[in-house]
Amino acid sequence: MSSQLPIDTFPAWAHLNDVQFTHVNLQDVGEGKGFGLVAHEDLESAEADGTSKGLVTIPHDLVLSAEAVEDFAKVDHNFKKLLEAVGRQSTRGDIMLYLVSQFAQSSRPKGLSPTPWTEYIRLLPRPIPVPTMWAEPERLLLNGTSLEAALEAKLLSLGKEFDTLREVSEDFPFWNEFLWSGEEVSLEDWVLVDAWYRSRCLELPRSGTAMVPGLDMVNHSSKATAYYEEDDHDNVVLLIRPGCPVRSGEEVTISYGDAKPASEMLFSYGFIDPNNIVDKLTLRLDPFPDDPLARAKLRISNSGPTLTISRKGTEGSQGASSVVWRSPFVYLMCLNEEDGLSFQLLQDTSGHRQLRLFWQGEDVTDQADDFETLIQGHDLCPVFKLRAITVLHDKVGEQLTRISRGPSDDELEPLQAAGLLRAECIAAARILKDVESKLLGHALEALDNERTNLLANDHVVAYLGSKEDYPIGQEAQATAANDDADDFS
Give the model confidence (pLDDT) of 14-46 as tens digits: 999 999 999 999 988 877 778 899 999 998 876
Query: Cβ distance 260 to 247 under 8 Å?
Result: no
Domain boundaries in the chain? 7-252, 279-481
Identify the pLDDT of residue 476: 42
Going by pLDDT thresholds of 50, 70 and 90, the confidence category of residue 487 is: very low
Residue range 418-456, pLDDT digits in tens = 888 999 999 999 999 999 999 999 999 999 999 999 999
Give residue 63's pLDDT: 97
Q: How far is CA 52 from the centre of its chain?
A: 33
Q: What is the pLDDT of residue 468?
A: 60
For residues 41-70, give the mean pLDDT.
Answer: 85
Nearest alpha-carbon partner for 344 in 489, 488, 482, 477: 488
From the CA atom positions of the chain, what is the Rg in Å?
Answer: 27
> By C-alpha distance, which of 291, 218, 187, 231 is closest to 35?
218
- Average pLDDT (188-206) is 95
Q: Which CATH class is domain 279-481?
A: alpha beta
pTM as predicted: 0.86
Average pLDDT over residues 395-416: 90
User: CB–CB of 275/251 below 8 Å?
Assistant: no
Share of the chain above pLDDT 70, in %: 91
pLDDT score at 6: 86
Task: Name 411's Cβ contacts closer than 8 Å, sequence gap at least 6.
Answer: none
Average pLDDT, the chain: 89
CATH superfamily, with its number, for domain 7-252:
set domain protein methyltransferase, domain 1 (3.90.1410.10)
The pLDDT assigned to 47 comes to 62
Q: 279-481: same fold as 7-252?
A: no
Task: Report d(CA 70, CA 74) in Å as an integer.
Answer: 7
Q: Which of 22-36, 214-228, 291-305 shows the lowest per-residue confidence on average (mean pLDDT)?
A: 22-36
Mean pLDDT across 188-192:
97
In this prediction, residues 326-342 reach a mean pLDDT of: 96
What band does 392 get if pLDDT is binned at 50, 70 and 90?
A: very high
Contacts of 115 (CB under 8 A, 6+ apart): 72, 102
Between these two residues, 276 and 204, which has the higher pLDDT value?
204
How confident is the model at residue 2, as a pLDDT? 65
